[in-house]
Amino acid sequence: MHELSVVLHIAKTLDELAEENRLSRIGSVTLQVGEVSGIMTDYFTECWDYFKKKHPLLSDSRLKLETLPAVTFCEGCRQEYETVRYGRICPYCGSERTYLLTGNECIIKEIEAEDQ
C-alpha cells in the first residue's frame, strides 16, 4: 500500500518542475510503471484522483499509465527472458544466476503543462 506515498513523491517532483519552469497547470502526466514494481495501478489511479483534488497544480490533470515489461538476464547463458512468465530460474539453461534488467521502475515519461 505504498501507492499514495509514490503519488506524493511524484507530486513533489512536479511541484519542483513547475516552479523551475513557471508552470501554472499540469494537464497530464504519463508514468511508466514496471510490471513487477509492486504498484497496483488501479489503486494508484484512485490515489492520484483523490490527491489531485487537494493539489491546485494537479487539479485538472489526467494520469496516463504505461506498463514496462519485466525482463530478466541470465548470467549463465547470457539470454534475456520474460520475468513474469518464467520467474527467477532461466528457461533456457536452468541457471539461478539471474537478475532483473527492467520492470521495477516508476518513471515520469511525459508532462503536458501550461506556463504562467
Domains of the chain: 3-69+103-115 (3.30.2320.50)
DSSP 58: G
pLDDT of residue 2: 84
pLDDT digits (tens, 9 = 90+) for 85-104: 999 999 999 999 999 999 99
**Cell numbers for 15:** 511541484
Distance CA 70, CA 54 (A): 33
pLDDT digits (tens, 9 = 90+) for 18-43: 999 999 999 999 999 999 999 999 99
pLDDT digits (tens, 9 = 90+) for 45-79: 999 999 999 999 999 999 999 999 999 999 999 99
Residues 6 or more apart whose CB falls under 8 angstroms from that of 75 comprise 95, 97, 98, 99
Rg (CA), the chain: 18
